Amino acid sequence: MPNRGGLYGGGGGYRRLVTLGAVVLGVVVLGWFLLTRMLGGDSCTTSYCPSGKGSDAPEGYTFVSKVYEFNAEQTAVPPGTEARVSLPLLDATTDGRNLAFYRFVETTGAWEPLGPALLDAGGETVSATLPEPPPVIAVMRRLLPAGHVVAYLPHNGTLHPEAQGRITVLHSFDFTPSSDGTIAGELTPVAASGDFAFYPVISAGASQRGSIPIVSNILADGQNRSRHVQEIVRLVAERQLGGIDIAYLDLAPDQRTSFSLFVSELGQALRANGKVLTLTLPPPMKVQDRIDEGAYDWQELGKSADILKIWPYRDQSTYRRDMPAIIEHLTTRVEVSKLVLTVTPYATEKTIEGLSTMTLAHAMSIATRLDVQTGSDQKIEAGSNVLIVATNIDRDENLSGVLWDARAASVGFTYKSDGPRTVWIENFFSIGFKLEYIYRHKLGGVAVEDASDNVYLGNIWTALVPFIASGQPILMQPNPSDLVPFWKPPEKGSYDGGERAGQRGSVRWATPTEPGTYTISLRLSDGVNFFENEITVTVEARSNRAPVESSTPTQGTG
| pLDDT band for position 37 (cuts 50, 70, 90) | very low
Q: How many residues does the chain have?
A: 558
Which residues, including other chains, have CB under 8 Å from residue 11's CB and lie 6 or more apart?
192
| pLDDT band for position 382 (cuts 50, 70, 90) | confident
How many helices and strands, by DSSP H and E, does the chain display?
A: 10, 37
Residues 207-261: tens digit of each pLDDT:
999 999 999 999 999 999 999 999 999 999 999 898 999 999 999 999 999 999 9
Q: Is the pLDDT of residue 15 over 90?
A: no
Q: Alpha-carbon distance 439 to 418, whole Å? A: 40
Q: Is the pLDDT of residue 8 over 60?
A: no
Pairing verdict, β 99-105 and 410-416: unpaired
HSE of 201, CA atoms in CB hemisphere, 13 A: 23
Per-residue pLDDT at 76: 62
HSE of 274, CA atoms in CB hemisphere, 13 A: 34
Which element (helix H / strand E) includes 212?
helix 211-220
Please give the model's pTM, rounded to 2 decimal places. Answer: 0.83
Q: CATH number for the 148-345+426-470 domain, one of 3.40.190.80, 3.50.50.60, 3.20.20.80, 3.30.70.100?
A: 3.20.20.80
Per-residue pLDDT at 353: 94
Per-residue pLDDT at 500: 63
Residues 93-123: tens digit of each pLDDT:
888 888 888 888 888 888 888 878 888 878 8
- Candidates 523, 342, 552, 355; CA nearest to 456 is 552
| pLDDT band for position 54 (cuts 50, 70, 90) | confident
Per-residue pLDDT at 79: 63
Per-residue pLDDT at 308: 98
Per-residue pLDDT at 284: 98
Pick from 31-35, 51-55, 207-211 the range whose average pLDDT is largest.
Answer: 207-211
Domain boundaries 6-142, corresponding CATH code:
2.60.220
Q: Is the pLDDT of residue 202 over 60?
A: yes
Domain boundaries 370-389+479-557, corresponding CATH code:
2.60.40
Q: What's the Cα-to-Cα distance from 71 to each of 32, 89, 161, rounded to whole Å?
A: 10, 20, 42
For the chain, the structural domain boundaries read 6-142, 148-345+426-470, 370-389+479-557
Q: Alpha-carbon distance 342 to 334, whole Å? A: 16
Q: Is the pLDDT of residue 80 over 80?
A: no
Residue 457 in 3-state DSSP? coil
Q: Alpha-carbon distance 82 to 23, whole Å? A: 8
| pLDDT band for position 74 (cuts 50, 70, 90) | low
Which element (helix H / strand E) includes 151?
strand 148-153
What b/e string do you get for 201-220 counting C-beta neighbours within 10 Å, with b at 16 or more? bbbbbeeeeebbebbbebbe
DSSP letter at 159 equals B
| pLDDT band for position 498 (cuts 50, 70, 90) | low
CB 298 within 8 A of CB 331: no
**DSSP E strands: which ranges in 376-426?**
385-390, 403-405, 410-416, 420-425
| pLDDT band for position 554 (cuts 50, 70, 90) | low
Q: What is the CA radius of gyration of the chain?
A: 29
Which residues, including other chains, have CB under 8 Å from residue 207's CB and lie 6 or more apart?
none
